[in-house]
Amino acid sequence: MKKKLFFNNRLYAFIRKEWIQILRDPSSFVIAFVLPAILLFLFGYGVSLDAIHLPVGIVVEHPTRLSSSFESSLKNSIYFSPLSYQTIQKAQLDFQKGRLIGIIWLRGNWSRESLAFGKGTIQTIVNGTDANTARLLEGYLLGVWTGWLKREMIDQNIQLSMPISQEIRVWFNPALITKDYLVPGIIVINMTVVGALLTSLVVAREWERGTMEAMLATPLTKLEHFVGKLLPYFILGMGGMIFSFLLAVFLFKVPFRGSFWMLILSSVFFLLAVLGIGVLISNISRNSFVASMVAIVTSYLPAFMLSGFIFDIQSMPVAIQFLTFFFPARYFVSILQTLFLAGNVWSVLSWNLLVLFFFGVVVVGLCYISWKRRLE
Amino acid sequence: MWNRVVGLIIKEILVFIRDPRSRFVLIVPPLVQMFIFGYAATFDLFRVSFALYDENRTYHSREFIAKFIGSPIFRLKKEILNDSQLKDEIQKRNVLFVLHIDRRFDRDLLSGRSGKVQLIVDGRNSNTAAILTGYANQIIADYNVDWIKKSGRIPPPSQITFRAFYNPNLLSQWFIVPGLIGILTFVVSAMTIGLSIAREKEMGTFDQLVVTPLRPIEILVGKTIPGLIFAMAQATLILLAALLWFKIPFHGHILLLYLGLFFFLFAIIGIELAISSISSTQQQALLGVFFFLVPSIILSGFSTPIRNMPEPIQYLTFLNPMRYFLVIVRGIFLEAKGLDTLWDQYLPLLGIGLVSMSFSWFLFKQRLY
CB proximity B243 to A under 8 Å: no
Whether the pLDDT of residue B31 is over 60: the answer is yes
B280 touches A: beta carbon within 8 Å: no
pLDDT at res. A116: 59
> Residue A214: how many CB atoms within 10 A of its CB?
10
With contacts defined as CB-CB under 8 Å, which chain A residues touch B120? 169, 171
Dihedral angle over CA of A85, A86, A91, A92, nearest 10: 170
Angstrom distances, CA of residue A311 to CA of A299, A330, B39, B40: 16, 11, 10, 7
Residue B369 pLDDT level (bands cut at 50, 70, 90): low
In the 8-state DSSP scheme, what is residue B14? H
Q: Which residues, at least 6 apart from B297, have a Cβ–Cβ distance to it below 8 Å? A: B183, B186, B322
CA distance A239 to A234: 8
pLDDT digits (tens, 9 = 90+) for B191-247: 888 888 888 888 888 888 878 888 888 888 888 898 899 899 989 999 999 999 999
d(CA A215, CA B316): 47
Residue B157 has pLDDT above 80, yes or no: no
Assess B307–A contact: CB distance below 8 Å, yes or no: yes
Residue B317: closest C-alpha in chain A: A46
pLDDT at site B146:
87
Q: Has the ipTM of the complex gone over 0.90?
A: no
Q: Return the percentage of chain A with pLDDT > 90, whole number.
A: 20
| Torsion angles phi and psi, residue B353, rounded to 5 | -60, -45
pLDDT at A356: 93
Share of chain B above pLDDT 90, in %: 33
Separation in Å, CA of B315 to nearest CA in chain A:
11
Whether B282 has its CB under 8 Å from any CB of chain A: the answer is: yes
Confidence of residue A148 (pLDDT cuts 50, 70, 90): confident
**DSSP one-letter code for B303:** S
* pLDDT of res. A375: 62
The Cβ of residue A181 has, within 10 Å, a number of other Cβ atoms equal to 27
Helix (H) or strand (E) holding A102: strand A102-106
Contacts of A51 in chain B (CB under 8 A): 305, 307-308
- In A, minimum Cα distance to B334 occurs at A129
Whether A41 contacts chain B with CB within 8 A: no
Neighbours of B6 (CB within 10 A): 13
Find how far residue A228's CA is from the centre of its chain.
32
Say if residue A1's pLDDT is above 50: no
More confident residue, A111 or B59: B59
Per-residue model confidence as pLDDT tens digits over B256-286:
999 999 999 999 999 999 998 888 877 788 8
Q: What is the model's pLDDT at position A362?
A: 93
Tell me what pLDDT residue A26 has.
75
CB contact under 8 A, A174 and B123: yes
What is the pLDDT confidence band of residue A3, given thresholds at 50, 70 and 90? very low
Decide which of A34 and B157 is more confident: A34
Please determine, for residue A237, whether its predicted confidence score (pLDDT) is greater than 70.
yes
Please tell me the least confidently modeled range out of A163-172, A349-358, B72-81: A163-172
Does the CB of B290 have a partner CB in chain A at under 8 Å?
A: yes
Count Cβ neighbours within 10 Å for each residue of A108-147 and write b for 16 or more, e otherwise.
eebbebbbeebebebbbbbbbbbbbbbbbbbbbbbebbee
- 3-state class percentages of chain B: helix first, strand second, coil last, to nearest 5: 70, 10, 20
- The yes-or-no verdict on residue A264 having pLDDT over 50 is yes
**Which residue among A128, A306, A338 places its CB closest to the CB of B164?**
A128
Burial category of B359 from C-beta neighbours within 10 Å (exposed 0-12, middle 13-18, buried 19 and up): middle
Substitution target in B45, B125, B135 with the highest count of A β-carbons within 10 Å is B125
The pLDDT, as a whole number, for residue A115 is 63
Continuous segment of H or E residues that includes residue A82: strand A80-85
CA distance B225 to B314: 32
Beta carbons of A170 and B291 less than 8 Å apart: no
B117 in contact with chain A, both atoms CB, cutoff 8 A? yes
Phi, psi at A224, each rounded to 5°: -65, -45
Q: How far is B223 from chain A (nearest CA, A)?
A: 19
Residues in chain A closer than 8 A to B45 (CB atoms): 312, 314-315
Q: What is the mean pLDDT of chain B?
A: 87
Confidence check: pLDDT of A373 > 70: no
What are the tens digits of pLDDT across the range B249-260?
A: 999 999 999 999
Separation of alpha carbons A207 and A214, rounded Å? 10
- Please judge whether B157 and A142 are an interchain contact, meaning their C-beta atoms are less than 8 angstroms apart: no
User: CA neighbours within 13 Å on the CB side: how many for A46?
Assistant: 25
Residue B53 pLDDT greater than 90, yes or no: yes
CA atoms within 13 A on the CB side of A36: 33
